[in-house]
Amino acid sequence: MNRLRLHHNTVWRWRGAIAVAALCALCLSTTTTATTTDSSTTAPVCRDVTVPVTLALLLPGTIRGTLCRAATGTVNPTVQLLLPGATYQSSYWDGEGVAAASYVAVATAAGATTLAIDRIGTGGSSAALSATVTAVTEAAVIHQVITALHQGSIDGQRHGQVVLIGHSLGSMESLIEASTYHDVAELVLTGYAHLPSVPGAVSTVLTGLRPAYREGFPDRDPGWLATIPGTRASLFDAANDVDPAVVVADEAHRDVVSAATLPDAIAGSLDPLVSAALRMPVLEVDGGQDGFFCGPLTAGCPTAAALYTREAASFPNTTLATVVLPDAGHDVSLARDGDQAATEIQSWLAEAATGHAARGPLPGSA
């Protein structure tokens, strides 16, 4: 315990240094609320839900999400909780409205129940002061949503098993949540690896992010950041592996991220004790052209085998499996071949549910 406390004290000291750098870059620049049903027999049945939570400083708040299930059959007692990345809403998981890019469509077609949520300060979830929104406080809120799913207070059904699936910043927060609370059955991390590309991250902060109040979000305090209009495709996609309709929809749904969240999340992703604390099976899914985690000054992600070799040592107390889409960028689910990744995730989860999660590079991956 003393070793753990000492280690985290060290992490907090250099975490502050990262926060200063982020601020310098900044200066340089549950109640069901609605129900919708598609008449198609294959489209999922979805409804909007809100979940009461306690935010930082013990303030009351709500998390908005979209709960979906297959159009036929019973509700799956296992639910996939989906967390989007920085500057994204829950709509990321539904292809930003483009059906061909919808992770939810693939998952529900396989019989899954999904809950995609807006993180604090984004979409329909509660607004908050940016300084109070960190990866640790976000993880505490996610834990409350998971507890509500277990207790059945969101949709009237107790979900005995929750699978936590994140993307990018959502993956980092998922990692922190799972290692802290140990309340999920499996963990899926997309658009993530332990060592980010420093050039890629710095380039994004300096050329892609600006104070949100200057970029179409006038009600946000200066600690909220947003992407500059027209830059998302170059930041998050591989040019040859994304539908133009998805690019347009992505720009239309752009959102914000708290500057205070970024150093906190990076610290957690670099801390070896965080991933070492995991006991549930883990799956990592990346695009080979991901500039954030497979770019310069990293070992790259050319294949699932290469990603596994790079990441396996970071998960000493659990099993790790890997998937790579060689042509995809950072936004794996929005890529033209993102449905392949979604299908691989469903197959891996089905096997994990039997108590025999696959490990290593998955056969269907590159």
What is the residue-averaged pLDDT of the chain?
A: 89
- Of 222 and 34, the structure prediction assigns the larger pLDDT to 222
Checking phi first, is residue 129 left (phi over 0); if not, alpha (psi -120 to 50) or beta? beta
Number of domains in the chain: 1
For position 6, what pLDDT does the model report? 34
Measured CA to CA in angstroms, residue 179 lies from 110, 151, 213, 277, 283 at distances of 28, 21, 34, 5, 15
Domain contains 366: no
Band of residue 7 on the pLDDT scale cut at 50, 70, 90: very low
* pLDDT of 34 higher than 50: no
Percent above pLDDT 70 for the chain: 88
pLDDT digits (tens, 9 = 90+) for 9-19: 433 333 443 34
Strand ranges, E, within the chain: 31-37, 45-54, 60-69, 78-83, 113-117, 161-167, 186-190, 209-211, 224-227, 256-258, 282-287, 320-325, 360-361
pLDDT digits (tens, 9 = 90+) for 118-164: 999 999 999 999 999 999 999 999 999 999 999 999 999 999 999 99
User: How far apart are the C-alpha atoms of 131 and 133, rounded to whole Å?
Assistant: 6
* pLDDT of 26 higher than 60: no
Domain contains 77: yes
Please state the φ and ψ torsions of residue 257, each to the nearest 5 degrees: -145, 145
Domain of 50, CATH number, reads 3.40.50.1820
| 330 contact partners, CB below 8 Å, separation of at least 6 | 168, 191, 235, 236, 237, 287, 290, 291, 292, 293
pLDDT digits (tens, 9 = 90+) for 278-300: 999 999 999 999 999 999 999 99
Instruction: Give the structural domain span for 241.
Output: 2-361
Checking phi first, is residue 329 left (phi over 0); if not, alpha (psi -120 to 50) or beta? beta
* pLDDT of 250 higher than 90: yes
Domain contains 163: yes
For position 364, what pLDDT does the model report? 67
pLDDT digits (tens, 9 = 90+) for 36-81: 333 334 789 999 999 999 999 999 999 999 999 998 877 788 999 9
Domain contains 168: yes
Checking phi first, is residue 364 left (phi over 0); if not, alpha (psi -120 to 50) or beta? alpha
- Average pLDDT for residues 4-33, to the nearest whole number? 37
Least confident span in 82-86, 142-146, 184-188, 206-210: 206-210
The whole model's pTM is what?
0.89
For position 225, what pLDDT does the model report? 97
- Average pLDDT for residues 191-206, to the nearest whole number? 88
